[in-house]
């Protein structure tokens, strides 16, 4: 009876158990496999994970705030996890712990096409911002990173450039310094980006994204792709405005589904049905 889990703090809101259990059921594997949510504070994370193989776990997803710790405790890690410096997927095999990152390929899989050669704006310089910059940059996009606190955007761009050299990956990234208050002369050329990705938490609590981010509601174009990692009950204000302009939109739940599907395949060796996972995630 292999067990799977998502480990977070908090984890009660996670859609992963519903999504993975629906996929297991759709493939007729639910008599054998199961997926649960496990909540643990940072100080208990390592001991919990080290005990999991002995309790029948085959693997786990790891979410906030444990993604760095997950990489640190692993016996081996994929290139992508090492390059990004974070892991969201652990596998317990032959007495060892393997770490991988499916967030980055999950983001790429949620896009309508390859970002190679595209001009990309990533907003936000937290862990999600760094992972998005890396994923898109390593896939051949020209990435600009914007953050409310400019110094953090600069830090991420320097960190990504340094790691790119260390791991011999070609990545083009630079920080953009534009105030969110749309001062004349300090505007961002919103229409010039092929892809715009919001990794900030703006919108999570109903804030107006057009006050907090350097974007204007009426400046999206139909050839653009707009990604908002924030997700709630309905489309975010950012995605609603982009959709009004005819742009292609991708929300955080789609990225969750894509990363989840990749993790599922790593653990079980089976490709899960995406439509079943999508329906369960949107629940």
Enumerate the active-site residues: 67
Residue in this structure with the two tokens 């999206």, named with its chain if needed: 220
- Backbone phi and psi for residue 66, each to the nearest 5 degrees, phi listed first: -100, 5
Return the range that interacts with ligand ATR (CB under 6 A); candidates 43-51, 55-63, 197-205, 243-251: 197-205
Cβ 177 to ligand ATR, closest distance in Å?
13
- Tell me the residue length of the chain: 283
In the three-class reduction of DSSP (H, G, I as helix; E, B as strand; rest coil), residue 138 is classed as helix
Q: Which of 87, 202, 247, 256 binds ligand ATR (CB under 6 A)?
A: 202
Give the 3-state secondary structure of residue 172.
strand
Before 65, cis peptide (omega within 30)? Answer: yes
Write the interaction track for ligand ATR spanning residues 213-242; mark x where CB under 6 A is met and - where it is not: ------------------------------
What letter would DSSP give residue 192?
Answer: G
Which of 148, 163, 217, 282 is in the footprint of ligand ATR by CB under 6 A? 148
Size of the site for ligand ATR (CB under 6 A): 16
User: ω into residue 41 within 30 of 0, thus cis?
Assistant: no
Does 182 contact ligand ATR by CB under 6 A? no
Distance CA(7)–CA(66), nearest Å, equals 8
Q: Quick check: helix, strand or coil at residue 122? A: strand
Q: Is 149 in the site for ligand ATR (CB under 6 A)?
A: yes
Minimum distance from residue 218 beta carbon to ligand ATR (Å): 20
Residue 45's alpha-carbon distances to 16, 63, 72, in angstroms, are: 19, 11, 11
Q: Which part of the chain contacts ligand ATR (CB under 6 A), choosing from 40-48, 73-81, 124-132, 165-173?
A: 124-132
Residues 6+ apart with CB under 8 A from 67: 86, 87, 88, 127
Residue from 124, 137, 203, 272 in contact with ligand ATR (CB under 6 A): 124
Minimum CB distance to ligand ATR smaller for 52 or for 86: 86
- For residue 212, state whether it binds ligand ATR (rule: CB under 6 A): yes
Is 198 among the residues that bind ligand ATR (CB under 6 A)? no
Residue (53 or 129) nearer to ligand ATR, CB: 129
Which residues of this chain interact with ligand ATR, rule CB under 6 A?
124-129, 147-149, 152, 199-202, 207, 212
């Amino acid at each position: 009876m292999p067990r799977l889990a998502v480990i977070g703090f908090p984890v009660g809101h996670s859609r992963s158990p519903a999504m993975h259990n629906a996929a297991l059921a759709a493939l007729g594997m639910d008599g054998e496999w199961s997926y649960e949510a496990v909540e643990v504070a940072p100080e208990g994370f390592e001991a919990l994970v080290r005990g999991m193989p002995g309790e029948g776990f085959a693997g786990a997803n790891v979410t906030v705030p444990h993604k760095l710790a997950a990489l640190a405790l692993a016996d081996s890690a994929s290139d992508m996890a090492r390059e990004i410096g974070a892991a969201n997927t652990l596998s317990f095999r032959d007495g060892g712990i393997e770490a991988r990152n499916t967030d980055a390929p999950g983001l790429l899989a949620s896009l309508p096409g390859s970002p190679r050669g595209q001009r990309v704006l990533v907003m936000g310089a937290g862990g999600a911002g760094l992972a998005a910059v890396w994923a898109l940059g390593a896939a051949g996009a020209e990435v600009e990173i914007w953050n409310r606190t400019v110094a953090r955007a600069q830090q991420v761009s320097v960190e990504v450039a340094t790691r790119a050299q260390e791991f011999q990956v070609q990545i083009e990234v630079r920080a953009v310094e534009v105030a969110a208050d749309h001062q004349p002369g300090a505007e961002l050329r919103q229409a010039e980006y092929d892809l715009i990705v919001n990794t900030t938490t703006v919108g999570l609590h109903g804030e107006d994204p057009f006050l907090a981010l350097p974007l204007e509601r009426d400046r999206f174009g139909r050839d653009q792709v707009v990604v908002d990692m924030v997700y709630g009950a309905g489309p975010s204000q950012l995605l609603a405005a982009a959709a009004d302009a005819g742009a292609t939109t991708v929300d955080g739940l789609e990225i969750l589904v894509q990363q989840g599907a990749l993790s599922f395949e790593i653990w079980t060796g089976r490709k899960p049905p995406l439509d079943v996972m999508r329906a369960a995630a949107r629940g």
